[in-house]
Amino acid sequence: GQNIDQPTEMTATEGAIVQINCTYQTSGFNGLFWYQQHAGEAPTFLSYNVLDGLEEKGRFSSFLSRSKGYSYLLLKELQMKDSASYLCALKAAGNKLTFGGGTRVLVKP
């Protein structure tokens, strides 16, 4: 089976940096995704890590350490529109995704 843990909620200031951690246990690792979800909307794809290291995409970066069962999503130069839930998801066999509970990020002015 799979188990995913991420903080429930985080608050940060506009212009700052926030790091959202995700730890997981899985019997077989096939990749880890980060999605952004605004309230009442569907998730949108942010990043995908399958190898160890850092993937950078503009203001968003994602890091993976498979040996530690650990990933983080880094959001830089926070904007008000970044207030949303951020979902860590593990890919299983058959391309199925198991989602963590999500981290609600609130950006304050």
Partner 1 sequence: GAVVSQHPSRVICKSGTSVKIECRSLDFQATTMFWYRQFPKQSLMLMATSNEGSKATYEQGVEKDKFLINHASLTLSTLTVTSAHPEDSSFYICSARDPKLAGADTQYFGPGTRLTVL
Please write down the HEC assignment for all residues of the chain. CEEEECCCEEEEECCCCEEEEEEEEECCCCCEEEEEECCCCCCEEEEEECCCEEEEECCEEEEEECCCCEEEEEECCCCHHHCEEEEEEEECHHHCEEECCCEEEEEEC
Cβ 89 to partner 1, closest distance in Å?
Answer: 8
- Binding pattern to partner 1, positions 27-66, x when CB under 8 A? ---xx-x-x----xxxxxx--x-x----------------
69 is a site residue for partner 1 (CB under 8 A)? no
Which CB sits closer to partner 1, 23 or 98? 98
Minimum separation from the CB atom of position 31 to partner 1 (A):
6
